Chains A and B, each alone.
Chain A
Amino acid sequence: MNFEASTDLRERANIRMSGLGGQGLVTAATLLGMAAVSEGRFSTVVPFFGAEKRLAPTESYVRIASERIHECGEVTYPDVIVVFHADVIVEDKCFTMPFYSGFRKGGWLVINSETPVVSDRDLARLEALEAHIVYVPAAQIARDVAGTELASNMAILGALAGATGVATLAGLEAALAQRFGAEKFIASGTTAVLDDVLRRKYSRTKELIDKNMASIRTAFDMTKSPER
């Protein structure tokens, strides 16, 4: 089945995020969903992993819409694919194979890499699909702006929002404040530990939020299309 991508990604977006365990992909997906909800839209987020471990293939699916979303499970026909690590496509470290199956015509492909990594064969397929390809040097941005590669996921999120318009900077800032500002129990041992690592890295919550937001903003401005 071949489908056209959503023409207005703020009205409806099906997003597949593919990466490796430990990159903060599930957190990034949750923040994106929270941003959409804070902007008054609807969003569902579904993480997908096996027996979780570092560097194992991980996916997360974000649906955003202007009306209530009933659909659950994996996004089979994405409008947007986000590649958190080049190995996902270079080394096929992903459970969704062939990787671009279901990718809608005219969709967006956001890749975390400083250099182009899509093979010529895939490039031909993506050209036929009229895909928009965006590269973001997320680790570099995170190092430069936040002083730690731990903020790479934020830069990827910023690039995704900048290129596609699925979320605004204000929405992402609200999501960050809600996630890291509020003293709430987070229902995942792994996520809680990672949050603690980040908190230790920055002594103050405000600094944590500001630095993460700076990563988001830098990548957002880098990928933002001129017409928006």
Chain B
Amino acid sequence: MPDIGVEIPARTVVTAEHMLFDAPREQRYLIGNEAVAEAVKRANVDFVVVYPITPQSEVSHLCGDLWARGLIRDYYRGEDELHVMVSAMGAATGGVRVFTATSGPGTMRAMEAISCWPGYRLPLVCAFMGRGVGTPANIQPDSVEIAYLLETGMIIFHVENPQDFFDMTIAAYAIAEQPEVHVPVAVFADGFFVTHSREVVELPPESEVLARYDPAVAPVPAMDMETVPVRMARDCLVIKSNFISYNANASWQQEVWAAQHRARKHINRLMGGSVEVLHPDAEILLVASGSAAAQARVAMQEARRQGLDVGFVKIKVIRPFPEREVVEACKKAKHILIPEFNMNGWLAREVKSRVDNNSRIFAGPRVFAGMTMPPELILDEMHKLVGART
């Protein structure tokens, strides 16, 4: 730890359950970026490496501030996002708890490294602060970035607001580090709509932290001077062209997705399930994730005031996709709308491929490239749909 003459406050080790459910909470008025930095502070993180990018920059600064106060053990700014994500991989392989964060083009640049994390069974947590990527370049909020992450093997949470950003980041560490899980978690927050939205966030005391990461219980050994890469290279599985190495690689891939499945019980325990369902017997159902869920929630409230029979499903966990819960929630609905903050409608595809009689699904409304989707627009679409079909 750097000797910077700063008194490091004594901190009490608590469980994730205590921090999430039992600890007293203090109200603070924070933006999403500040909320996730508060989570990093309490997660007893060993190492943060970042490269600032809008709309993630504030958390980069704030993690540097945490390091200066001795609250994380090491920190530096990488040369670029590929450097950052490779460094994060190296540190996690060495058996320490890692946090990093990026956004849009940074994610694209670092995709080579990011796509390696799950296969190497690294339990690191990365906050993705979604912004548009390409088609054409865009600095504004958009959730299309998740579509690029869907098949990486990472667990993916999609937060609705700054409070979720805090809570789900704490849960992310507790879930990622389960020996039977041990894959990375992407905590995805829509840029600006969550990262820069200031609201009251309830925080447990900063004197309480999670226990330090214990590499001894990991399903793969940490690489250090005792277990050097040459003795335990996790990627030797692809080097030989023979059936055994193909088979080994294939089984490691399968094991990543099996690990995701085993994460479900921990998600249920620490996050109250993968979905939040309101009025499940309703005729019209709004199914959404992230900040689109916030807008859908408001649209549902207003629609119910107007006498429409509307329910709401927030999908908190995108990977492992909560197939059983979504199929169950959609059973009774006559009309299903899926509002999204991206052009491509990846969430609608996820739902459509699992729910029967999917002609019930209206894959929209969709607003993208930085524009806001007012709840009034969702309401308008509901009225059109009901008017046209009944």
Contact between chains at B198 and A70 (CB < 8 Å): no
Q: Which of A37, A77, A185 meets B200, CB within 8 Å?
A: A37
Interfacial chain A residues near B373, Cβ < 8 Å? 73
Out of B31, B58, B161, which one reaches A70, CB within 8 Å?
Answer: B161
**Could you say which residues of chain A place their CB within 8 Å of the CB of B197?**
44-46, 72
Complex Cα distance A50/B139, Å? 7
The docked-state distance in angstroms from the alpha carbon of A1 to that of B374 is 11
Q: Mark B31-58, 1 if CB is under 8 A from A, else 0.
A: 1011001000000000000000010001
Closest-CB distance, B48 to chain A (whole angstroms): 15
Which range contains the number of A residues in contact with the other chain?
Answer: 20 to 34
Contact of A74 among B294, B372, B375 (CB under 8 A): B372
Closest residue on chain B to residue A34 by CB atoms: B29
Of the A-B pairs whose beta carbons lie under 8 Å apart in the complex, a sample of 19, sorted by A's number, is: A3-B376, A34-B29, A45-B199, A47-B192, A69-B199, A70-B160, A70-B294, A70-B297, A71-B298, A72-B193, A72-B194, A72-B294, A72-B372, A73-B192, A73-B193, A73-B373, A76-B376, A187-B61, A188-B58
Interface residue? B295 (CB, 8 A): yes
- Assess whether B372 is in contact with A73, with CB atoms less than 8 Å apart: yes
Report yes or no: B291 in contact with A72, Cβ–Cβ below 8 A: yes
Chain B residues near A37: list those with CB within 8 A. 29, 200
Given contacts A44-B198, A72-B372, A187-B58, 15 further A-B contacts (CB under 8 A): A3-B376, A33-B29, A37-B29, A37-B200, A44-B197, A45-B198, A46-B196, A46-B197, A48-B192, A73-B192, A73-B372, A76-B376, A77-B374, A185-B65, A187-B61
- The reply to whether A42 and B294 form a contact with Cβ atoms under 8 Å apart is no
Query: Would you call A30 an interface residue if the criterion is a C-beta within 8 Å of the partner chain's C-beta atoms?
Result: yes
B276 proximal to A (CB < 8 A): no
Most buried by B among A3, A33, A42, A76: A76
B160 / chain A contacts, CB cutoff of 8 Å: 70
CA distance A77 to B376 in the complex (A): 9
- Closest Cβ of chain A: how far from B105's Cβ, in Å? 13
A70-B297, A71-B294 in contact; A42/B200 too (CB < 8 A)? yes
Distance between B269 CB and nearest chain A CB, rounded to angstroms: 25
In the complex, A72→B193 CA distance in Å?
A: 6
Chain B 287-305, CB-CB to A under 8 Å as 1, else 0, gives 0000100110110000000
Contact A51 B291 (CB under 8 A): no
Which chain B residues lie closer than 8 Å to A215 at the CB level?
none
**Is B33 in contact with A46, judged by CB distance below 8 angstroms?**
no
Any B CB within 8 A of the CB of A153 = no
Residues B62 and A72 in contact, CB atoms below 8 Å apart: no
Chain A interface mostly: loop
Indicate with 1 or 0, residue by residue over B369-390, a CB within 8 angstroms of chain A CB atoms: 0011111100010000000000
* Interface size, chain B (Cβ < 8 Å): 35
- Docked Cα-Cα span, A73 to B374, in Å, equals 8
Cβ < 8 Å to B, chain A residues 30-69: 30, 33-34, 37, 42-48, 50-51, 69
Main SS class of interface, B? mixed
Q: Determine the distance from Cα of A185 to Cα of B31 in the docked complex, in whole angstroms.
A: 13
Query: Residues of B with Cβ closer than 8 Å to A?
Result: 29, 31, 33-34, 37, 54, 58, 61-62, 65, 139-141, 160-161, 192-194, 196-200, 291, 294-295, 297-298, 371-376, 380
Contact residues in B for A30 (Cβ distance below 8 Å): 198
A98 within 8 A of B: no
A39 to B140, CA, bound (A): 33
Residue of A nearest to B341 (CB): A73
Residues of B within 8 A of A51 (CB): 54, 139
Pick the residue among A33, A43, A76, A187 that contacts B62 (CB under 8 A).
A187
Q: Which of A33, A48, A74 contacts B198 (CB 8 A)?
A: A33
Question: A46 vs B37: C-alpha distance in the bound complex, in angstroms?
Answer: 18
B385 nearest CB across to chain A (Å): 17
The answer to whether the Cβ of A226 comes within 8 Å of any Cβ in the partner chain is no
Q: Which residues of B contact A187 (CB under 8 A)?
A: 31, 33-34, 37, 58, 61-62
Q: What's the nearest-Cβ distance from chain A to residue B187, in Å?
A: 17
Bound: A152/B198 CA distance, A:
23
Cβ distance B55 to chain A, nearest Cβ, rounded Å: 10
> Judging by beta carbons under 8 Å apart, are B376 and A46 in contact?
no
**Residues on B with beta carbons closer than 8 Å to the beta carbon of A43:** 199
Chain B residues positioned under 8 Å from A3 (CB to CB): 376
Question: Smallest CB-CB separation from B138: which chain A residue?
Answer: A50
Residue from the set A69, A70, A73, A76 with the largest chain B CB neighbour count within 10 Å: A73
How many angstroms between the C-alpha atoms of A46 and B191 in the bound complex?
11
Cβ-defined contact, A73 with B295, below 8 A: yes
The 4 A-B residue pairs with the shortest CB-CB distance in the complex, in nearest-first order: A73-B372, A74-B372, A76-B374, A187-B58
Q: How far is the CA of A207 from the CA of B380 in the complex (A)?
A: 51
Give Cα A69 to B375, complex, Å. Answer: 12
Question: A132: shortest Cβ distance to chain B, in Å?
Answer: 23
- Beta-carbon contact of A73 and B291 below 8 Å: yes
Partner of B196, one of A1, A34, A47: A47
Is the CB–CB distance between A185 and B62 below 8 Å? yes
